Homo-oligomer: A and B are copies of this chain.
Amino acid sequence: MSGIVTNTQVTLVQLDNYGPWTVTPSPRREVDLQTLQSRLYADLSQAIGMRDGYTFFTRFDNMVAVTNGLDLEDHARIQESIRNRYPVTVSLSIGTGATPADALVEATAAIQDEGSAQDADRSELLLGQPVPESERSDDDVQIAHFDVVDATGKYTDELDAFSSFIHIEQGYAELMKHMHVAHDSLSFFVGGDNIIAVCPGLSEDDYAEAVEHVRETAGVDLRVGVGTGASPHDAGMGAKHALELAREDETDVEGDLH
């Protein structure tokens, strides 16, 4: 690890008793479920993003957000707004910790303590405590933006669309496992050929090794830009600019790293 100590605040968003709802009184039209899920995600992404947080769709019924900068009141407002506009409600659980994986363990445990995700009596939980404003710092969040090298030339324009997708997907499947086990990081597919990972203070070597791991196990070439900041947006924008640099210089890893 590098000298940076991060302090990631994650929020687990869990749809309340959603499984049973999807088949009550009989199975609901799939296109409506798809629309509901993706719009709910879009709304969370905007609402949390207005305060510089990031939201990942993950499983859609369980989403993960990085929320450094959002306090309990912000969370409550978002929860209320969902209730007012959707036929489903959400529980929110905040966890904090030096590694994103730890923070999410904490957030999940708190929500599990209150009952099952499919418990009809357990709804709209609002749990956990955000990082106090006084303890926030510019090193709190580290974001790595991974991108497949020349995905257009190697996959999109070459293979049929599903075969391309399989390559990207297998690259993601390998990276997500590796970053979790080896680096306590949470990696999310964000569309196209892009994966965003929320990491503790990792070093250049850590990233180089992760890129190498995916090349070996899935045969997919990645490069990565890394950024650090007080909020996910600040860190993420740093990561994007670092990635642009990596593209120009044709390097594997860029960013303000040790």
A interface vs B, CB < 8 Å?
Answer: 12, 14, 18-19, 22-23, 26-39, 41-43, 45-51, 53-55, 57-62, 64, 77, 80-81, 83-87, 101, 104-105, 107-109, 112, 116-118, 152-153, 156-166, 168-170, 172-173, 176-177, 180, 186, 190-193, 196, 233, 236-237, 240-241, 243-244
Copies assembled? 4
4 A-B pairs besides A31-B54, A112-B157, A163-B180 with CB distance below 8 A are A34-B55, A35-B85, A101-B160, A108-B160
Closest B residue to A74 by beta carbon equals: B50
Q: Is the CB of B32 within 8 A of A192?
A: no
Do A31 and B59 contact each other (CB < 8 Å), given the known contacts A105-B160, A116-B157? no
Do A58 and B177 contact each other (CB < 8 Å), given the known contacts A19-B192, A35-B45? no
Which residues of chain B have C-beta atoms less than 8 A from A192's C-beta? Answer: 18-19, 22, 59-61
Q: How far is the CA of A186 from the CA of B165 in the complex (A)?
A: 11
Which residues of chain B have C-beta atoms less than 8 A from A19's C-beta? Answer: 152, 192
Which of B159, B164, B240 sits near A30, CB closer than 8 Å? Answer: B240
Which residues of chain B have C-beta atoms less than 8 A from A39's C-beta? Answer: 38-39, 42, 85
Q: Is the CB of B87 within 8 A of A86?
A: yes
Q: Is the CB of B62 within 8 A of A165?
A: yes
Q: How far is the CA of A44 from the CA of B61 in the complex (A)?
A: 21
Do A161 and B241 contact each other (CB < 8 Å), given the known contacts A29-B84, A48-B31? no
Most buried by B among A77, A83, A161, A173: A161
Q: Is the CB of A160 within 8 A of B109?
A: yes
Which residues of chain B have C-beta atoms less than 8 A from A243's C-beta? Answer: 27
Q: Is the CB of A46 within 8 A of B59?
A: no
Nearest Cβ in chain B — how far from A78, in angstroms? 8
Which of B54, B85, B162 sits near A64, CB closer than 8 Å? Answer: B162
Q: Is the CB of A191 within 8 A of B30?
A: no
Which of B33, B117, B158 sits near A191, CB closer than 8 Å? Answer: B33
Nearest Cβ in chain B — how far from A161, in angstroms? 5
